[in-house]
Amino acid sequence: MSERNVEAWTRANTDYTDARAEEAWGKDEIDWGIWAVPESEVHALPDVSGKDVVELGCGTAYFGAWLKRRGARRVVGVDPTPAQLETARRCMAKTGIELELVQAFGEDVPLPDASFDVAVSEYGASIWADPYKWIPEAARLLRPGGELVFLRNSTLLILCSPDDGKAEERLLRPQFGMHRFEWSADVDEGVEYHLSHGDWIRLLRENGFEIVDLIEIQAPEGAETHSRYDFVSAEWAMKWPSEEIWRARKSS
């Protein structure tokens, strides 16, 4: 993750995420991604009650708040964007939900080795940080047997995405060599990182993770294209996965 991403997310917080944060924090059910697929359907998370959780790229930390409400013992939200952490602090004060917040990039987290049972990232470090740096960090932070769960855009979506505009129904860029992406819109949207499934498995395995699941998300029937996150239409996402959740366990 770079300073460019901090700038992009400072703008995004002003435009969107700050105003949505309190509503997101207040949701009763955990859901995933832009189609708000409920955790009760996808079963991506381990039981978090009594567990120590780190969220890598927490943004306004609504996901961490949900896990804290589900009984996590400790939730630490890590994010490099001060404006989003400020929003998270305001939500903490309003809700009384206590998280610990750390301003840092997912590639370099100032927390001790083997101090967490669960690491999560939902559109956080999972796409905004370099996986060749943040996956080793996640491995370092987890205790043996600890679980890593992250949501990213699907590889197929990236291959079908033009530099600007919605995903198309055709392959537009090569899979071999994919890693770092700069989308050229009017405003700087920052730098994203996306790998092929083979590269994800290799990277996770090299860092001592066992692959537990890959949940490829289908937009539910009746879904409508997201008003802000309109990089993919609901119609596209009903036929092909626009998002996927990886679940991996650190070897004990």
Contacts with another protein, residue ranges (CB under 8 A): 156, 159-160, 169-172, 174-176, 196-198, 201-202, 205, 210-216, 218, 238-241, 244
- DSSP sequence for 124-158: SHHHHS-HHHHHHHHHHHEEEEEEEEEEEE-HHHH
Rounded alpha-carbon distances, angstroms, from residue 112 to 115, 126, 139, 205, 241: 6, 20, 12, 22, 36
CB of 57 to another protein, least distance (A): 23
Q: What is the CA radius of gyration of the chain?
A: 17
Contact between 191 and 4 under an 8 Å Cβ cutoff? The reply is yes
Nearer to another protein, 107 or 244 (CB): 244
**Tokens, residue 216:** 């490829």
Nearer to another protein, 7 or 216 (CB): 216
Rounded alpha-carbon distances, angstroms, from residue 9 to 23, 84, 203, 216, 245: 19, 8, 27, 26, 22
CB of 18 to another protein, least distance (A): 34
Contact between 243 and 144 under an 8 Å Cβ cutoff? The reply is no
CB of 23 to another protein, least distance (A): 30
CB of 243 to another protein, least distance (A): 12
CB of 196 to another protein, least distance (A): 6
Nearer to another protein, 20 or 197 (CB): 197
Nearer to another protein, 22 or 210 (CB): 210
CA distance 170 to 243: 17
CB of 220 to another protein, least distance (A): 12
**Tokens, residue 109:** 């987290």
Nearer to another protein, 21 or 245 (CB): 245
Nearer to another protein, 183 or 240 (CB): 240
Cα dihedral across residues 27, 29, 32, 34: positive or negative: negative
